[in-house]
Amino acid sequence: MNASILTEVILPLALALIMFGMGLGLTTTDFTRLFKSPLGIVMGLIGQLVAMPLLALGLCYLLNLATPIAIGLMILAACPGGTMSNVVSQLVKANLALSVSLTAASTAISIITTPFIIGFAMGQFAPTGDVSFSILTTSLGLFFITLVPVAIGIWLRHFKSDFAIKTEPFFRRFSLFFYAYDDCCISNKRARFIS
């Protein structure tokens, strides 16, 4: 399969479907929790949006990482928590409400923070002019792949709750399958690289 079709069509579509499924599982009460218990949300957001990128930046300098690895680590640190954290929280009977609220809040904020962190990493670690990066294009891409599908899912959950409740487990299984398939592909590539 052509790499550009995979990265430009299939992966964004799969992520949009996962985000849509997450939206089907969200209700307006998930967002009112943000105001009822703000300390947990604030601490979680500081951890995800400030501490992780700073820790990644420190590791990049401490270990003197090669440019692609340093930028990749910064991209990983800039990404918000996703649906997998919600699935894991549900499986281990953790605080699912906190996990869902953190996912919703960090996804919304990441439309602004992620492009800036990636842009900063490119400026710090990539030689001048080697890579082009647009903060606006990245923000718009994140908006349409994350927030729009989540908003549509929330809208359906509010106005067509029976449909949303029936179809949400399918999207949860799809996200588990997608993550498992992705992990399997990465493990196979790593095994081929090592041998």
> pLDDT tens digits, residue range 91-106?
677 776 677 778 778 8
The CATH class given to the 3-194 domain equals mainly alpha
With 80 as the cut, is the pLDDT of residue 159 above it? Answer: yes
Which pLDDT tens digit goes with each residue over 2-20? 557 766 777 788 888 887 8
Question: Model confidence at 183, in pLDDT bands (50, 70, 90)?
Answer: low
Question: Model confidence at 133, in pLDDT bands (50, 70, 90)?
Answer: low
Which pLDDT tens digit goes with each residue over 67-78? 889 998 998 898
Question: Model confidence at 184, in pLDDT bands (50, 70, 90)?
Answer: low
The tokens of 81 are what? 């928590």
- List the chain domain ranges: 3-194
